[in-house]
Amino acid sequence: MICLLAGPAASVEKAKPYTTGVMGSSLIDFSDQPVTKALQLKVIGNTFILNMIEHLSEGLVLAEKSGLGTAQLVSFIEQLFPGPYVEYAKRMTSGDYHKRQEPLFAVDLARKDARHALALAKEHGTSLKDVEVADAHLVRVKEKMGERGDIGSIYGAVREEGGLKFENS
């Protein structure tokens, strides 16, 4: 977790000792800036997670449908994009996205963040086409899995679009 601290500098300084290494892995300091700046960063940052999962899902489905298979693609991802890309790719290919009973990033929370990001983009005269696509997949996740739906379950929705079963083996 990355802590985003905003508000009066004196308040931010008081909170800093409880962030890095305690509540989170790092922090971004918005001292003496409006709290809305930290909220905007959170919303925009979460679109990167959403887009990462969307892109992984599309690539994994293409790898499976084209006969390449997912193992070599996951190996490529491990070498080129270590960290969260690898973790999500493994969660997807292992079937974790449809087997888990409790979501790590619930579908409703992911959709809420997507709506906030889309509204922010519209307010500032731009668009987030990838987020629109991912949100449509999240709608399918909610239909298919209900409250158990996880952001990683986008993979299942993309699998269905590609003519595969929502659940992998």
Q: What is the pLDDT of residue 153?
A: 98
pLDDT, tens digit, for every residue of 40-68? Answer: 999 999 999 999 999 999 999 999 999 99
pTM: 0.89
Q: What is the pLDDT of residue 141?
A: 98
The average pLDDT across 90-99 equals: 96
pLDDT, tens digit, for every residue of 131-155? Answer: 999 999 999 999 999 999 999 999 9
Which of the 8 DSSP states describes residue 17? G
Q: What is the pLDDT of residue 144?
A: 97
Q: What is the pLDDT of residue 23?
A: 85
CA distances (Å), 134 to each of 5, 6, 16, 145, 159, in order?
A: 29, 29, 34, 16, 13
Q: Is the CATH number of domain 43-161 1.10.240.10?
A: no
The average pLDDT across 112-118 equals: 97
Domain ranges of the chain: 1-33, 43-161
pLDDT at 1 over 90: no
Decide: 117 and 46 in contact? Cβ < 8 Å.
Answer: yes
